[in-house]
Structure 1
């Protein structure tokens, strides 16, 4: 008996061909991604939490000194980007510098325009971590990094063959341990939840074959 014909709707969908982003799309993605990173940091800071990478170190230093998060983020990211110059494209470096300076400006603006009196730590961790993950995803899809630690991870992958996921986990783990100088264990554990929320976003959606329209 011959098989019944398959309707077009039941046939496997072919991946849509990749279409390069326009300069306008890239610029918009850098803006949106930077806004999301800044908002995520605002939520985490309101809950007294941290995250991984340079952003996490910046939050810890902010708690210790009271100086702006964006100031530490920029001061730490730019030297780390300089280390990766030979392994990363100039376009990646330029876009990441734009994101870094944009985050410096947006977090400064947020400090004057957003006032969160109270937020529960579970909400701060999940919402803040997820928003940061979506921002990182937007930036990655348009050829930019979230900061110096991400660039170093890619640099070590390209020059030394280090597994990017494991290296990022190692860095984030070290940042969480470092945060104990300013946070109690409870807040560090909630911060870990936020880091997992960020990683979950990237794990689910930042894969080859995604964004094909199906």
Structure 2
């Protein structure tokens, strides 16, 4: 829950500033900007295809934990977005990108260390890390970078650059803090 709260608050900051991030969370934000569809629905739907990979490669325990994390972040994001909780914030984009992505990065490390993920790209990155040793943070930086590049379709180019900074911060924190030989919450 701690990781989910941090991720949700980070996403709230990014959304308040109109900044995007990577992964299925960033993809859901981007599609939401383009279509107006609700973020929680898009976030859950974007994760569904990756659950097959999780079941096959990581097992049911991991998959159920991941599903719980995905649903928690989707629900918590709605709660944070409600005006009655935090109100409508005006957040400077660089601040939102730096702080929001740091919060997301710390939240993801907590979630990873407890044998869970936020689905989507996280599952693929963890499976690749286990099979090849290529660090999950690097895989996610590549995939997240692609999402940020695609965000040029819906976001001002300056915000795309700010978002790219956020992707480097988020995944840099994962590269530095998530290693398979460290604590795994067992």
RMSD (CA atoms): 1.9
- Structure ranking higher in helix proportion: 2
* 1:49-88 deviation per Cα after TM superposition (whole angstroms, max 9, x unaligned): 0111101101101111222211111001122112332111
Query: Relative to structure 1, is the Cα distance of residues 208 and 86 closer, same or farther in structure 2, using a 3 angstrom cutoff?
Result: closer
Query: How is 1:1-214 mapped onto 2 (pairs within 5 angstroms)?
Result: 31-112=1-82, 113-158=85-130, 161=132, 163=134, 164-207=136-179
Measured after TM superposition, the shift of residue 143 of structure 1 is 0.7
CA contact (8 A) 1:34 1:135 kept: yes
CA 110–56 in structure 1, closer or farther in 2 if over 3 Å, else same: same
2: CA distance, partners of 1:153 / 1:200: 14
For 1:202 and 1:167, locate their aligned partners in 2 and report how far apart those are by CA, in whole Å. 10
Alignment partners' CA distance in 1, 2:179 and 2:121: 20
Cα deviation digits, residues 83-116 of structure 1 (max 9, x gap): 3321112111110000111112111212212223
Q: Deviations over 1:30-61 (max 9, x none)?
A: x1111111101000001100111101101101
**TM-score, structure 1 normalization:** 0.77
Distance 2:139 2:152 in 1: 21
Does the 8 A contact of 1:81 with 1:152 survive in 2? no
* Count of residues in correspondence between the two structures: 180
Report if aligned partners of 2:7, 2:104 keep a CA contact under 8 Å in 1. yes
Worse-superposed segment, 161-170 or 32-41: 161-170
5+ residue gaps in structure 1? 1-30
State which structure, 1 or 2, has the greater radius of gyration over its C-alpha atoms: 1
Q: Aligned in 2, Cα 1:135/1:190: closer, same or farther, shift over 3 Å?
A: same
Gaps of 5+ in 2: none
8 Å contact kept, 1:50–1:179:
yes
What is the deviation of 1:127?
Answer: 0.6
CA apart distance, 1:157: 4.1
